[in-house]
Amino acid sequence: MITEIPSLRRLLLLILFQLTILSMQAQRSYRYENFGNRSVLLNGNVTGSVNDLGGVFYNPARLAIIENPKFSVEGRFYERTEVNVNDFLGAGINIENKQFNALPGLMAAATSIGSEKIYFSFMLRNRINISSSFDSGILDENNTDNIAPGILFNADAAIDINLREEWFGLSWAKKISDNFSVGISTFLSFYNYSGGDSFDFIISENDQNLLQFNGDLKYTQASTGLFGKVSAAWQQKHLSMGLTIDLPYIELRDDSSFNSKDFFTDRVTNEDIFTINQFSGLVARRKVPLGINFGAGIPIGKSTLHLNTDWHAGVGSYDRIEIPPLESTTEPTTLIEAKEKLNPVWNIGAGAEIFISEKINTYLSFTTDHSPLNPEDTFLNGGNNFGESNILTLDYLHLGGGVGLTFKSFAITLGAVNTSGSGDFERSITLPVGVDNFDDTDLNIKVDRWRFLVGFNFSGFGL
């Protein structure tokens, strides 16, 4: 129960410490996004069988096999994402985020330079926009037995995360023989990640004492660099296979900022905290490891079964951002190690392209999508797992389906992909409100995403 102001001050100091070492990660799982109309509905299980301009991403060697590819655009891509955090700050204290957005996808075009064909592409490689908040309102002993008579209580918290990464690509493919080809793709990546959280806590005791805490943390990381893909494709009458090696990321430019503000005041004891740190131009590092993708396409009559597996190497613990010591006018200097560790990941997936008629195909697919991050492998070490970091450490399952309509000079693809993931994580902060006698120390995060595709592929003209 909230009966003593000194005990509340200890709670607030604990919150201050945990917010200062807020954990956050910016590495998304590897299969979260897919590109190319048909490839999207097959959930990217097309390393050995891609036959649209999504080949610039999945297997550029297959571009030498595609007949007369000229221009491809994913028309319109709509996304509905719902994120629920249950028992965020205590029993029954939940937050949710629901969004519906129109998104761009992959655009690719082919042109000839002499005897060689070159492919240009643009894709929105990653996009996350989550903003959620909670406000308890003014609570007293009439709201919960956890608050003693004479005390008024209010708390509010908010978390934000924004990630946008754009790729500009150049691809080339060459037939070595009638049934074997090779290809390469290189992408210039512009990566921008930002986020943070805030936490406010006010307690009034019989108008004689007022405790107030305000904590706010914001961070940014920008990175420009190169991704490369080297691939091979084999095409037989009853089997097609493909191998794509994702080369490690080469960083060309980095930048980061880190800002935190922490204020605490106790009108009775005058034991206040006043801390402001604002850093810009920090050295930052982004690492994406080697990946190996293998796939096969197996014709079954006029239908096709698509099989795929991918493996991504791990990255040992490294300093992601070099944050200077945090200074305070009232507290000792705090040191933070901004580290990250990526674990090896192995995924499997399958898709079915079912022939209905010469003009109609249907698609069904699934793929696993394991995160390279553990909740304890935090970006800003401290192990509190307070907020948005947990959303990025979930393992996901992707399910897709749709229909393809083929006409003389163009094709239309319609369908949807569902992404779901959930997990329990240790809750670092529990407010003294909510259900009485509640001793569960975990919060639960659920993500449910639907993406709706209306795509086009034109093959009757080029650039």
Q: Round to whole Å and give the CA distance between 390 and 376.
A: 10
- Confidence band of 109 (pLDDT split at 50, 70, 90): confident
Residue 57: both structure tokens together: 């991403």
The predicted pLDDT at position 72 comes to 59
Q: Round to whole Å and give the CA distance between 389 and 395.
A: 13
DSSP state for residue 63 in the 8-state scheme: G
Query: Please, what is the Cα angle at 62 between 56 and 64, to 5 degrees?
Result: 100
What is the DSSP track for 256-295?
A: EEEEEEEEEEETTT---EEEEEEE-S--B------EEEEE
Amino acid code (one letter) for 148: A
Kind and range of the H or E element at 424? strand 410-426
- The answer to which of 68-72, 80-84, 254-258, 452-456 has the lowest mean pLDDT is 68-72
Four-CA torsion 26, 390, 162, 170, nearest 10 degrees: 40
- Whether residue 377 is predicted with pLDDT greater than 60 in this model: the reply is no
CA atoms within 13 A on the CB side of 428: 24
The answer to whether 394 and 438 are in contact (CB under 8 A) is no
Q: Which domains does the chain have, with CATH numbers?
A: 5-458 (2.40.160.60)
Q: Round to whole Å and give the CA distance between 177 and 333.
A: 66
Residue 257: both structure tokens together: 């900022």
Q: Round to whole Å and give the CA distance between 267 and 218.
A: 28
Q: pLDDT for 296-311, tens place per residue?
A: 999 999 999 999 999 9
- Whether residue 87 is predicted with pLDDT greater than 80 in this model: the reply is no
Q: pLDDT for 21-39, tens place per residue?
A: 333 334 468 898 888 778 8
- Confidence band of 431 (pLDDT split at 50, 70, 90): low
- Whether residue 452 is predicted with pLDDT greater than 50 in this model: the reply is yes
Mean pLDDT highest for which of 344-348, 370-374, 429-433? 344-348
Q: Round to whole Å and give the CA distance between 247 and 229.
A: 6
Query: Nearest 5°: phi and psi at 13?
Result: -65, -40
Give the gyration radius of the chain's Cα atoms.
Answer: 26
Instruction: Give Cα 259 distance to the centre of its chain.
Output: 22
Amino acid code (one letter) for 279: F
At 334 the three-state DSSP class reads: strand
Neighbours of 317 (CB within 10 A): 12
